[in-house]
Amino acid sequence: MTAAPPPRCDRIAELTADQFQARLPEALQIYVTAMGYPPATAQQRAPMWSAHMQRAGWRCIGAFSEQDQLIGIGYGYLGAPGQWWHEQVRRGLLSSGAEIGDWLDDYFELTELHVHPAGQGAGIGERILRQLLTGAPGNKVLLSTPEGPTRAWRLYRRVGFTDVLRNYRFTGDPRPFAVLGRSLPLEER
């Protein structure tokens, strides 16, 4: 038996909070599958993702197949003091002796970017990333990603992200992560 061909990306579109909420089960399935997490992780993440939609500057981009199946998702919002990720990164920068500088001022937090494994390697992630960051609020963008040579790493480097914090362990996750950042806006392609 041969594997099914990867889904073709028919369109990339911005989603409203209501549209994202309606597609939340699909989005979480992509997340769990792409990250290799246990299925129960989706139930744990659903309330958090729903709460993120209420944050200032929230934007979401989806990639869809010809059959209107969600095959990729990316979202983010303005990072701010008091938010869990912001405080974790601040703590990491302070404990590493790194200069915080203005990294944690006026930034868009790229919270999630995932493409179903069947569609990876076809440029869908970069298309989502570019559309998400085009017009994103803030004068820079920050993200965290597990350390290691992955497609995500290659994408972020290709788009100009640089190291902000390396080999950081977020509370509750034993894996080392990198925090990467770059200025906005992105250059035209």
Catalytic residue annotation:
156
* 3-state DSSP of the chain: CCCCCCCCEEEEEECCHHHHHHHHHHHHHHHHHHHCCCCHHHHHHHHHHHHHCCCCCCEEEEEEECCCCEEEEEEEEECCCCCHHHHHHHHHHHHHCCCCCCCCCCEEEEEEEEECHHHCCCCHHHHHHHHHHCCCCCCEEEEEEECCCCHHHHHHHHCCCEEEEEEECCCCCCCCEEEEEEECCCCCC
